[in-house]
Amino acid sequence: MHISVKCFATLAKHTPAGADRYEVADGATVADVVAALGVAPAEVKIVFVDGVAAALDAVVPDGGRVGIFPAVGGG
């Protein structure tokens, strides 16, 4: 299946080429996506799947939108 996936801030370099149509195995979890992109799990603070914060073991739906963030803050 295909998902869209982007990494942000200090993790931005891990955003893959073709991020809007990135291929992953059916049933892939957030952790699988993080691993496939080569992001160290310890650096990941928040992952959004379709705009909702998701745990590492959450399954990503087909066509899902994934955003991977380190710890960020501002205001």
Partner 1 sequence: MSRLLRIDTNKRTFAFADMGAYAGLGGRALTSRLILEEVPALSHPLGASNKLVAAAGILTGTAAANSGRISLGAKSPLTGGIKESNSGGLFSQKMAKLGIQAMVFEDKPEDSAAPVVVVVKADGVSIVEAPELAGLGTYATSEKLLAAYGSRAAIMLIGPAGETCRLAASVQFTDPKGRPARAAGRGGLGAVMGSKKIKAVVVDDTGATGVPVADKDAFKAANKRWVEILGSHPVTSQGLPGFGTSILVNIINEAGALPTKNFRLGRFDQVADISGEKMVELMQARGGKPKEGCHPGCVIQCSQTFVDDKGGYLSSGLEYETVWAFGANCLINDIDDIARMDHACDDLGLDTIDMGNAVAVAMDGGIIPWGDSKAALELLHRVGDPKDSLGRIMGNGAKFAGQAFGVTRVAEVKGQALPAYDPRAVKGVGVTYATTPMGADHTAGYAVCQNILKCGGDVNPMTKAGQVELSKNLQIATAAIDAVGFCLFVAFAVLDTADAVQVMSDQIAAVTGKKFGPEDFLALGVNTLKDEIAFNTKAGFTKEHDQLPEFFAEPLAPHNTTWDFTPEELQGAKVS
Residue 55 sits in the site that holds partner 1 (CB under 8 A): no
Angle value at C-alpha 31, between 30 and 35, nearest 5 degrees: 120
Residue 73 sits in the site that holds partner 1 (CB under 8 A): yes
Pick one of 25, 45, 62, 63: the residue that binds partner 1 (CB under 8 A): 45
As given in the structure block, the two tokens for residue 69 are 């963030």
CA distance 48 to 30: 9
Residue 72 sits in the site that holds partner 1 (CB under 8 A): yes
As given in the structure block, the two tokens for residue 33 are 């996506």
Residue 17 sits in the site that holds partner 1 (CB under 8 A): no
**Which CB, 32 or 67, lies closer to partner 1?**
67
